[in-house]
Structure 1
Amino acid sequence: MILAILQARMSSTRLPGKVLMPLAGAPLIVRQIERVSRAGRIDRLVVATSDQPTDDPLEAAVRREGIAVFRGSLDDVQSRFIGALDAFGPADHVVRLTADCPLADWTVIDATIDAFLAADADYGSNTPAHRTYPKGLDVEVMRAEVLRQAAVEARTPEEREHVTWALHRRPDRWRQAFHSQTAEEGEVRWTVDRPDDYAFVAAVYDALYAGNRAFTSQDVRDFVHSRPDLIDYGGDRRV
């Protein structure tokens, strides 16, 4: 089984509460879940949030959509992932996603998983040293047993907070596979960490969602090209 774990919290330092900010009439995380759920390679999706009271509204919003929730440590995100794996496994592979990517592309998720499986790797992603996909389409995939081993061996705060810190820094230890595209979009910003990021994504949803709930990454590119005011919105490349 392939288990996708979507990590989320309300206490983002740069844009608190962003996961529940509205996009086309629903919370941002709900819109992301809609998109992730179209990935054919994912067998089950669970949202992993913290056990802090500040994340109670997040759990309620996600459960209303019929999505499973696991709650664990706020700061030790790696242990939160292991807890979610224990609660909703057994799984052979784990996909790591983060809840600041409401333009997540299910075709990229599936292609990254396919590349990982074809290579018989321990860890894979679409964000190698030379990334080609926009920030906000990030996907990581790993063997469940490898994630567990990394958690047992973790000693630093970075390993605990960033979950896969050791996996992608130890190619000598873990077999790695990366998925890239031909287009050079590594500097394009579709993630939501700042108010201008949210304003950009809200403009995309306002323009595209009503006409096609399954709008594609190419639809986003075409829309932004039609809006010169959005191309470098907030000082970052948006297309």
Structure 2
Amino acid sequence: MILAVLQARMSSTRLPGKVLMPIVRAPMIIRQIERVARSRRIDRLVVATSTDPLDDAIEAAVRRDGIAVHRGPLNNVLERFVGALDAHPADHVVRLTADCPLADPTVIDATIDLHLASGADYTSNSPDGAAYPKGLDVEVITAAGLRRAAAQADSPEAREHVTWDVWNHPDRWKISWLSDAPGEGEVRWTVDRPDDYAFVATVYDALYPADRAFTSDDVRAFVRGREDLLNYGGDRRA
């Protein structure tokens, strides 16, 4: 059983409320869930948000689409993940963040496939020097590994970043990296600033009406055909 946990909150410091900003007439988080739902390896998805009243709006938005929600401490994301796992038992957990509306289901599946084949505790698609665009990040961890990370969490960073212990103590974990990444670590598709949102909204307006399942290659081709988008906001976009 593979559980995807999509973490989301309204209180982003740089772009508050971004997860519910509209993308083609729906909240951004719903557009991301549409893409994640095309994964053939994920068995269930749950949105992990906080008990902060601001996040009531997230719960309402995703429940309207029949998506499960787990709520936990605002400042302990790791506890939220473990709570989601307790409520929806699984063997492996896929960590996703709700600022990635261009999430790629084929990349998610490739990361999961590698994780299962390698027997790793933790697998990611973003090794140094060979990363996919920011916004396509995928992390997969065994249920036992997630619980171990929670038991060992002894700092605010570990509680906020979920896989902090893996990244900072790789000697403690069996790790696999998806190594065929296209070397696009400088490409920015995540949404963390107003210009990121404007970029993603432009991509969706162009591609979504003709093909709701548009691919990452479709995004690359579209951006490369628009000189004004290539370095939009000062970041490489394709």
TM-score of the alignment, normalized to the shorter chain, above 0.5: yes
Q: Which runs of 5+ in 2 are unaligned?
A: none
Secondary structure of 1:228 counterpart: coil
Note the C-alpha offset of 1:128.
Answer: 1.4
Corresponding position of 1:117: 116
Give RMSD over aligned pairs.
0.8
Corresponding position of 2:47: 47
Secondary structure of 1:214 counterpart: coil
What is the total number of aligned residue pairs between the two structures? Answer: 238
Note the C-alpha offset of 1:4.
Answer: 0.4
Corresponding position of 2:35: 35
Corresponding position of 1:138: 137
Give the partner amino acid of 2:41. Answer: R
Contact 1:190-1:197 at 8 Å conserved across structures: yes
Secondary structure of 1:231 counterpart: coil
Corresponding position of 1:178: 177
Give the partner amino acid of 1:70. Answer: H
Q: Does 1:127 align with 2:126?
A: yes
In the TM superposition, 1:66-215 aligns within 5 A as 66-89=66-89, 91-181=90-180, 183-215=182-214
Give the partner amino acid of 1:124. Answer: T
1:120 and 1:17 map into 2 onto residues whose CA distance is: 38
Give structure 1 regions of 4+ aligned residues with deviation exceeding 3 angstroms.
Answer: none
Question: Residues 62-104 of structure 1: CA distance to partner in whole angstroms, max 9, x if unpaired?
Answer: 0001000000000100001011100111x10000000000000
Give the partner amino acid of 2:156. Answer: P
Secondary structure of 2:65 counterpart: coil
1:198 and 1:37 map into 2 onto residues whose CA distance is: 22
Note the C-alpha offset of 1:172.
Answer: 1.3
1:168 and 1:123 map into 2 onto residues whose CA distance is: 10
1:5 and 1:180 map into 2 onto residues whose CA distance is: 23
Corresponding position of 1:64: 64
Note the C-alpha offset of 1:117.
Answer: 1.2
Give the partner amino acid of 1:32. Answer: Q
Give the partner amino acid of 2:192. Answer: D
Contact 1:133-1:181 at 8 Å conserved across structures: no
2:39 and 2:181 map into 1 onto residues whose CA distance is: 21
- Worse-superposed segment, 122-131 or 60-69: 122-131
2:177 and 2:221 map into 1 onto residues whose CA distance is: 27
2:217 and 2:192 map into 1 onto residues whose CA distance is: 22
Contact 1:12-1:18 at 8 Å conserved across structures: yes
Note the C-alpha offset of 1:116.
Answer: 1.2
Secondary structure of 1:172 counterpart: helix
Contact 1:6-1:98 at 8 Å conserved across structures: yes
Note the C-alpha offset of 1:20.
Answer: 0.4
Note the C-alpha offset of 1:210.
Answer: 0.4
TM-score by length of 1: 0.98
1:66 and 1:144 map into 2 onto residues whose CA distance is: 24
Q: Which runs of 5+ in 1 are unaligned?
A: none
TM-score by length of 2: 0.98
Secondary structure of 2:172 counterpart: coil
Question: Residues 32-54 of structure 1: CA distance to partner in whole angstroms, max 9, x if unpaired?
Answer: 00000000110000000000100
Contact 1:133-1:180 at 8 Å conserved across structures: no
